[in-house]
């Protein structure tokens, strides 16, 4: 087998396992949402959505801060040095999690004594805090398995997580405090699956040596820009739930999230492939020009976009049966919400693969600024539209933000191919190059 054919086979193997893993997670989250919508009160489902939205922010910040700079470093190190770097990264993350979580929990407990509203929300908030901390642990070991290209242990961990999550929520959804019980199910699933991933990593990569010191500080010059971009993107990609809860109510959050739920397979297909594309794109850039890499990523984006459109078309035809039989819910302005969400997720799924050229070439400052502009456009539209149009105004704002982001990524990618025709030094130092 030629070197080119072997590389293609490894790429398909990695992408295939990533898609299968995200299919499992997509199916699990879809089942969780359906169970809560069918059997729990809308207020409980809305609270669970707010908890899961916060967890997504935490894991997005972790992946953005740690992911790009750590991939660059791991690719150029020996096995012992890689293990020391990874161990140091987790040791410092663990200390940071404890230093932030314990005071926050103590403040919540004190506030609960002075406010009835805070006391009502205290159990679900503490459960969400625990779930967030353990999800960060799971995210760290998942990332390392991806970076070392061990797809099958990663898939096993995802399968265990999905199984435990669905089983836990099935037990939780009929309880009065279903949101709290569901958050605890997330925590348990994250704990046990991260244990499985950690064991697989130690078995495949060897015993963990003494942890390297100061890892997060070394990653900060690149990671802070990436994390800032992830946080800003969260404000219109997920944070709109908190805007809607403030401008309307938790019931409106349930309507928006319930409609988006049926489109979750598109989001997670894009996320699954994207999780494998960063190390692959980095390897491509060591051998080929940015123009050639952009063409490959554009082809992947086109395939994802076509698959997303096909799924959405089928979903539209089945929407009456889906809401009446599967979800057992009837939301106001259902078809408008579904049409707007369809447009938003297709735009996002098409854009996401194109991001990795800019990320791999460390153009994170420009991406952060672009994300800021997109977030301002989205949040401004949401704040202006929700009081007049209700829940559809929030989704329209998300769509405006996604379209702005896609246009900016296309422009930045075009400039990247014009300014650098030679293969990029993907393993360059971590200083910003823009």
pLDDT, one tens digit per residue, over 262-293 is 888 787 777 767 767 877 888 888 888 888 88
Predicted pLDDT at 68: 72
Question: Which residue shows structure tokens 């879809």?
Answer: 30
- Answer for the pair 200, 144: CB distance below 8 angstroms, yes or no: no
Mean pLDDT of the chain, nearest integer:
85
Mean predicted confidence (pLDDT) in 13-39: 78
Residue 196 confidence class, pLDDT cut points 50, 70, 90: very high
pLDDT tens digits, one per residue of 32-46: 999 999 898 888 999
Mean predicted confidence (pLDDT) in 373-383: 93
- Percent residues over pLDDT 70 in the chain: 90
Predicted pLDDT at 49: 94
**Of 56-65, 114-123, 369-378, 405-414, the least confident:** 114-123
Predicted pLDDT at 324: 85
Residue 15: pLDDT over 60 = no
Extract the tokens encoding 147: 């970076």
Residue 20: pLDDT over 80 = no
Residue 426: pLDDT over 60 = no
Burial letters 14-30, b for 16+ CB under 10 A, else e: bbebbbbbbbbbbebbb
Could you count the other beta carbons within 10 Å of the beta carbon of residue 106?
10
Residue 433 confidence class, pLDDT cut points 50, 70, 90: very low
């Amino acid at each position: 087998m030629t070197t080119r054919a072997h590389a293609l086979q490894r790429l398909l193997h990695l992408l295939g396992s990533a898609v299968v893993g995200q299919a499992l997670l997509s199916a699990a989250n879809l089942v969780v949402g359906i169970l809560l919508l069918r059997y729990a009160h809308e207020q409980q489902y809305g609270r669970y959505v707010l908890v899961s939205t916060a967890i997504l922010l935490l894991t997005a910040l972790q992946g953005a801060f740690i992911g790009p700079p750590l991939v660059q470093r791991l690719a150029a190190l020996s096995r012992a040095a890689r293990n020391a770097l990874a161990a140091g990264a987790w040791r410092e993350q663990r200390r940071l999690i404890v230093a932030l979580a314990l005071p926050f929990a103590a403040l919540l407990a004190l506030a609960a004594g002075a406010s009835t509203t805070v006391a009502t929300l205290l159990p679900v908030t503490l459960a969400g805090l625990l779930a967030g901390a353990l999800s960060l642990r799971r995210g760290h070991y998942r990332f390392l398995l991806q970076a070392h290209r061990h797809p099958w242990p990663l898939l096993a961990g995802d399968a265990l997580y999905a199984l435990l999550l669905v089983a836990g929520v099935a037990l939780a959804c009929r309880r009065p405090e279903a949101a709290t019980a569901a958050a605890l199910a997330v925590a348990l699933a994250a704990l046990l699956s991260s244990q499985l991933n950690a064991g697989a990593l130690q078995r495949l990569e060897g015993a963990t040596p003494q942890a390297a010191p100061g890892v997060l500080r070394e990653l900060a010059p690149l990671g802070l820009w990436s994390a800032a971009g992830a946080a800003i993107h969260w404000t219109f990609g997920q944070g709109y739930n908190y805007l809607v809860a403030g401008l309307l109510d938790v019931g409106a959050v349930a309507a928006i999230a319930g409609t988006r739920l049926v489109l979750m397979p598109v989001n997670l297909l894009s996320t699954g492939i994207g999780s494998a594309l960063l190390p692959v794109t980095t390897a491509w850039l060591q051998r080929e020009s940015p123009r050639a890499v952009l063409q490959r990523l554009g082809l992947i984006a086109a395939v994802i976009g076509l698959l997303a459109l096909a799924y959405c078309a089928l979903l539209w035809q089945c929407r009456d049966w889906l809401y009446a039989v599967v979800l057992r819910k009837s939301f106001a302005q259902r078809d408008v919400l579904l049409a707007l969400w369809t447009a938003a997720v297709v735009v996002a799924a098409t854009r996401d693969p194109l991001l990795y050229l800019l990320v791999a070439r460390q153009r994170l400052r420009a991406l952060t600024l672009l994300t800021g502009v997109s977030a301002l456009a989205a949040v401004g539209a949401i704040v202006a539209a929700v009081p007049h149009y209700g829940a559809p105004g929030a989704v329209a704002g998300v769509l405006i933000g996604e379209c702005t982001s896609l246009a900016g990524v296309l422009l930045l990618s075009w400039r990247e191919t014009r300014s650098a025709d030679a293969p990029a030094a993907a393993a360059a130092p971590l200083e910003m190059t823009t």
